[in-house]
Chains A and B, each alone.
Chain A
Amino acid sequence: MDYLSSNKILIVNLESGEITEDELDDELVSHRIGGVGITSSLYETYKDKDPIVLGTGLLTGSLFPGSALGIISAKSAKTGEVAHSPLTLKAGMELKYTGFDYVVVLGKAVKPVFLWLHDGVADIQDASEIWGSDVWKASDHIRRSMGDDLIQTLVVGPAAESGSELAQVCINYWGSGDCWGFGKSFGEKNLKAIALRGMGLLEISEPEDFVDQCFELFEKIKKGSFMGKTGIQDIFSAMGENDATEWILPLVHRNSACYNTPYATNTFLYLSEDPKTLTEPDEPEPGFLVTDPCALLGFKRAGLSAKDAGSVMKACAKYGINPLAVAEFCVKSGEKDPENIEKSLKDLEGPVSVPDCGRFSYWAPGKPLFSNFDASDTSEYGAWWKRRQAVAYIFGIHPIFANMAPELSEELMLEMVNKGTGLELNQDILDKVIEDVCS
């Protein structure tokens, strides 16, 4: 693949330390398009070696609106089936620019390691110094030791090391859409983290046409139904949870977006500083970036104050545990004290509910947001949601943003990918891939 791609699939065997590269064949792209279409196909190829597969879509890292998404595909500790979780913030984009379109991690390292992917180079590095440390310390250590604060880290904490099925792969310091227990899979491989940084360049087959259309699309989107709305607080309103909007607003510092995503899906809560502070605070860790609206809502339902909910989410991210699952335990037990909840994290186990959401992360709210999409079945996590998520995970579009922007039609994404790559992908191929990844 010459365009919108680095043309590389990386295979890392943690057991033997062997690292090899394959080309990303045009033929494979012509049949599986990309993103989850290809991660699931790589998963099948290496299935007997318990693979963790990372990947990006053809549009990831481009100027196409919402092009933030990277993907982890692996066997879920919760369901025993292959599932997919989203890499958002700047991690999907950074993965794309490391020089690898797909990364297959096989085997178990003999001692704790982290994988360092940068500028077309992959290194397995010793992680004994950070094994045992929480997610925040591990991320800090990796960034400090590499001398680059913009490295994006996919990192696990003590929950993963102790084999918890609720363990989450966090992104930098924050929770992620990993509701499948992929943290446990990292832990079982003695893989503390995957660190990403790339300064690559993506060629475009028809650059002018591609960029013209991106600008046209931005113009349309700027008139879209979510414009003027921002952050988790307005996502709550779109979900019909207006109380939650009021509940969280007093703590909101700023809202921020994942790479090239026109809606700010992340909201930073200041917990130990005045949220109105504009200057750089002295306090090194004044709050928490909420990336998971459903988890925050879960803690509200459990009866926590917004501040306590923020503190507990921060503790979950440090421990590397899925906050949505923790919220469910709080609802069941009636526990509202943040200190008690924090203390209990290490003992939480047992089944948590999983909606009928197919293989895609139910971190993305289960219905359209700010728009009705003219779809017949928009029942919670229903057929519309599954197809929409499949499309987002195939092309590399932010899964929450995909559910609020009907302007990003399947037809348009296909057209853009064809302009970007020079391939001739069509709706039949897309339908086949969707059917396969949804089955």
Chain B
Amino acid sequence: MRIDVDALKCIGCMACEMACGYHRDDAFALLASCIVVYRAREKKDYFGVVIKEEESLTIARPEGLEIKRIGVAEEPGSTGQKKEADASAKPMLLREPCDLCDGMKYGPMCVKICPVNAISLVEGGE
């Protein structure tokens, strides 16, 4: 199972990011979230969601989903990573991968909290 995001439904509220941060830190913080809203191209209204997984980065763009294997091309600071996870406080590749909220009684917290049901749990691993 993995997390899927329909970026066109997304309203960029960051609730998923904070829920994931809570899962990591038992407090409110954004530094450790593995689901992050990319919102650095504010003047263009171009935003979506990036999820760090064990071996890939899922980039949910308005025009569609892209899954990038984490490898040489996606080293921290390389163009692909930099472009989508841009300016997040901590590079995406240095964050823990999504564990589907393992150990949390709520199940995947980002799925549960998204107000517009943009996030879902889908079949298929990496």
State which of A107-115, A275-283, A300-308 sits at the interface with chain B: A275-283
A256-272 CB mask vs B (1 if < 8 Å, else 0) is: 11111111100010100
Size category of the binding interface on chain B: 35 or more
Contact of A279 among B19, B62, B86 (CB under 8 A): B62
B19 touches A285 (CB 8 A): no
Contact of A260 among B18, B87, B88 (CB under 8 A): B18
> How close is B50's CB to chain A, nearest CB, in angstroms?
13
Q: How many residues of A contact B (CB 8 A)?
A: 52
A207 sits at the interface (CB 8 A): yes
B1-23 CB mask vs A (1 if < 8 Å, else 0) is: 00000001001111100110010
B45 sits at the interface (CB 8 A): yes
By a CB distance below 8 angstroms, the chain A residues around B116 are 230, 262
State which of A43-51, A194-202, A343-351, A383-391 sits at the interface with chain B: A194-202
Closest to B41 in A: A280
> How close is A279's CB to chain B, nearest CB, in angstroms?
5
State which of A20-28, A215-223, A237-245, A358-366 sits at the interface with chain B: A215-223
A293 sits at the interface (CB 8 A): no
A435 sits at the interface (CB 8 A): no
Complex Cα gap A61–B63 (Å)? 30
A264 touches B27 (CB 8 A): no
Closest to A61 in B: B28
**Given contact pairs A253-B45, A262-B115, A230 touches B11 in the complex (Cβ within 8 A):** yes
* Interface of chain B: mostly helix, strand, loop or mixed: loop
B115 touches A63 (CB 8 A): no
Complex Cα gap A150–B42 (Å)? 9
> How close is A76's CB to chain B, nearest CB, in angstroms?
29
**Given contact pairs A215-B113, A279-B62, A202 touches B27 in the complex (Cβ within 8 A):** yes
B26 touches A256 (CB 8 A): no
A201 touches B25 (CB 8 A): yes
> How close is A145's CB to chain B, nearest CB, in angstroms?
14
B115 touches A222 (CB 8 A): yes
A residues sitting closer than 8 Å to B (CB atoms) are 4, 61-63, 65, 90, 93, 97, 136, 148-150, 172-173, 199-204, 207, 211, 214-215, 218, 221-222, 230, 253-264, 268, 270, 278-281, 283-287, 289
Q: With A61-B28, A256-B11 given, name 16 new contacts (CB 8 A).
A: A4-B28, A62-B28, A148-B87, A150-B39, A200-B29, A201-B25, A201-B27, A201-B28, A207-B27, A253-B45, A262-B13, A264-B13, A278-B63, A281-B46, A284-B43, A285-B44
